[in-house]
Structure 1
Amino acid sequence: MTLCLLLLLWGAWAWQADNLQQLLLSHSGFTLLGITGAIFANATGAGGGVIFIPAFTALSFSEGEAIHTSFLIQCFGMTAGALTWAYHYFTHHKGHSWQGFAPFSIVASITSILGLWASEFFALAAPISLHLSFSIFSITLGAIIIYNTRKSALLTQKEPFQQHGVVDCMVLCFLGFVGGIITAWLSVGVGEIIVIYLMLRGYCAKLSIATGVVVSAITVWAATPLTLGEGSMANFEVLLFAGPGAAIGGLIAKRIALFFSVVKLKLFFAAWIMLTGFVMLFVA
């Protein structure tokens, strides 16, 4: 029933386009981009921008067009992913095993929103260009998680929330704020930072990813006054096809993530964000 309603809403939206037949021929491939981006984003905790920003840069989008379009596509994909991870939490882990999921998601989301809007209010600009900022950010974080995974691969997984939950919430407040600023620049950032911190602290990889997805979803929705406002530079023709694709990818990503072991999931996450960083260096 829900799927039928969504299809009807999309059909009504598409019908408003003056050149729908031409768009179906020229832009339908963006549906696959949306699916792919959302699968990787919601299976690893990295925002969908790790796919969309390199792709849009390769297509010669302006920085503003790439950022705003990426934000809006993630409103579809990260929301679908966040809902599926939240459902997984309520049906399988509502209790001791994922005790930190709710408080971590709440505190990091609040401060991420504050960081994103502080960046806009105080006109904080990225110190270097979009493609270089994105590349350095992705490669550095990927290297950190690979190093830590190799170092701790033989250690027993722990759930340290009861011992260190308050401290971790305080740290996540800071990381959420910084991540929100970075997300305002790159359309990604806060999810990756949250996932890596929680993994380094010894929390379950899947809990870490679920938290990153939820925080990313809330953050991109907080940016909609910018991406849909008067100064919006978003490409709505791309969004028409990539958005629904991202929603589909977000719904199936959790199933993919649950097939991986903890170590493989960490290495996959790290390798993926490093790969996108290196690709960005060459396509820009």
Structure 2
Amino acid sequence: MNRTNRLLYMVAALVGLVWLFFFPHFRQAFLKQFYFMPFLGVVAATVANTTPAAAGIVYFPVLTRLSIDPATAVQFSLIIQAYGMGLGSFKWFLFNKKLFMVKLLPLCFLGGTIGIVIGIVFVPIDTPEILTLIFNSIGFIFTQIIFFSILLKRTYPNFTIDLNRSNVIVLFVFSLVGGIISGWIGFGIDTIFYFLLTFWYRINPAMAIVTSISLMAALSVVGTVLNLVFNSVPLALWYSAVPGVTLAGLFLASYFAVRLGARNILVLFAFLLTVDFLMAFWTQNTVPMSHTFRMILTYLIVGYLLVIHVKIFKQSYKDVNKELGEFQPNDIR
């Protein structure tokens, strides 16, 4: 066993001991209400630490469909991301620290911090229906960008960004907007930051994904502190998810990321966003519409997405984004 693996096992053992120590305090809530959270945590943390989407993309739709208030789901997403994506960032750093675009993080963290303060403290959205609609609409838009980037066979040759005045302004503004959205729905800056890096600056996607994960982790800490001061934090939910999140953050996420590759991860990411959008659209009542119109629109969307997926999977693996950067250390020069 090498030094890195020993360190990871030591962290996992320490987390396990602390979790068991606090078990009597959360025993009733865990066994009666949240017994499923470790399993959900494995899935959510794996998604969060392999794709440019935070764990909220899994937690939010699942928890709200289990009758947990959307505002509580957002607060939970932030605190569990602070932990889980923090572990994931630590693991990625051990794997290859060159995957982090360190020069960008202070600027983007500053913009994101200002944004999340605005979103949580000054302009909060407390209406569950609006939160749900914002979440799924943003996700669907990002899905289409991913689909067409794959179909157009974009290449991503860049590894750095020159921090001149115009780039500083662009990065700061996008981080500010991402921070506001993160304050509202529990994630956002990671996905926006990823798309900015890849589609505007054509940065290696592996670097963009890992950097966005670390940025979302740091901003989730800020959001959690703000919720502790101004709102509340669902500690029982967080405690219940910790075992699964620890397993995925330290071990599973990077394992799957390296073996799936950046391109397949993006396809998986887009698929998850698409399924969630369709489920939410079919059940939502925020925008009034007749049942017939809802069915027609749903069939049109499904047909459109089916055509897109067929086009993607008809292309051979080697013909799609051959220059899409992977997570292997020797891919980052």
- Shorter chain as normaliser: what TM range? 0.7 to 0.9
- The C-alpha deviation readout for 1:213-257, integer Å capped at 9, x for no partner, is 00100011001223334630x433222211332222122212211
Matched AA of 2:142 = L
The two structures have a TM-score, normalised by structure 1, of 0.86
**Distance change (3 Å), C-alpha of 1:66 and 1:210:** same
Aligned to 2:44: 37
Partner Cα distance (2:195, 2:138) in 1: 12
1:2 aligns with 2:1: no
Q: Provide the secondary structure at the position in 2 that maps to 1:44.
A: coil
For the aligned residue pairs, the C-alpha RMSD in angstroms reads: 2.3
Contact 1:38 1:253 in 2 (8 A): yes
State the identity %.
Answer: 22
**Greater displacement, 140-149 / 50-59:** 140-149
Task: Report the Cα offset of residue 140 of structure 1.
Answer: 0.4
1:14 maps to 2:23: yes
State the 1:102 CA deviation.
Answer: 0.6
Q: State how far apart, in whole Å, the 1-side matches of 2:274 and 2:125 are.
A: 24
CA distance in 2, matches of 1:115, 1:214: 17
Residue pair 1:112, 1:176 contacting (<8 A) in 2 also: yes
- The answer to whether structure 1 residue 76 and structure 2 residue 83 are counterparts is yes
Q: Look up the match of 1:50.
A: 57
Equivalent in the alignment of 1:148: 149
Within the alignment, does 1:130 sit opposite 2:131 as a pair?
A: yes
Counterparts of 2:37 and 2:192, CA distance in 1: 27
Q: Name which one, 1 or 2, has greater alpha-carbon Rg.
A: 2
**What is the aligned residue count?**
271
Q: Does the 8 Å CA contact 1:54/1:283 hold for their aligned counterparts? A: no
Answer whether contact 1:175 1:193 (CA < 8 A) is retained.
yes
* Shift in alpha-carbon separation, 1:249–1:280, aligned structure 2, 3 A: farther
Note if contact 1:135-1:277 (Cα within 8 Å) is conserved in structure 2: yes
Shift of 1:23: 3.0
In the aligned structure 1, how far is the partner of 2:234 from the partner of 2:159?
A: 44
Aligned equivalent of 2:102: 102
For 1:165 and 1:266, the matched residues in 2 are separated by 27
**Alpha-carbon deviations, 1:116-163, whole Å to 9, x = none?**
01223422438971111111000001111221222134x4x301526x
1:71–1:223 CA contact under 8 A, matched in 2: yes
Higher relative contact order (CA 8 A, sep 6+): 1
| TM-superposed deviation, 1:44 | 0.3
CA distance in 2, matches of 1:89, 1:116: 29
CA distance in structure 1 between the partners assigned to 2:146 and 2:126 by the alignment: 24
Shift of residue 4 of structure 1?
A: 2.3
Give the Cα separation in 1 of the matches to 2:260 and 2:198.
Answer: 15
User: Could you say if the C-alpha distance between residues 87 and 168 of structure 1 is closer, same or farther in structure 2, counting changes exceeding 3 Å?
Assistant: farther
Given the superposition, is the C-alpha separation of residues 219 and 70 from structure 1 closer, same or farther in structure 2, using an over 3 Å criterion? same
Q: 1:183·1:189 contact (CA, 8 Å) conserved in 2?
A: yes
Structure 1 runs not aligned, ≥5 long = none
Once the two structures are superposed, the pairs formed by residues 174-185 of structure 1 within 5 Å of their partners are 174-185=173-184
Partner amino acid, structure 2, of 1:266: L
Within 1, Cα distance between the matches of 2:96 and 2:157?
A: 18
Cα distance in 1 for partners of 2:279, 2:88 equals 25
* CA spacing shift, 1:85–1:168, aligned 2, 3 Å: farther
> Which range is displaced more, 7-16 or 37-46?
7-16
Partner-residue secondary structure (3-state), 1:69? helix
Instruction: State which drifts further: 8-17 or 123-132.
Output: 123-132
Letter in 1 for 2:236: E
Report how far residue 74 of structure 1 moved: 1.4
1:161 aligned counterpart, secondary structure: coil
Relative to structure 2, which stretch is displaced further, 174-183 or 24-33? 24-33
Confirm or deny: 8 A CA contact 2:182 2:188 kept in the other structure.
yes
CA distance in structure 2 between the aligned counterparts of 1:117 and 1:224, rounded to whole angstroms = 11
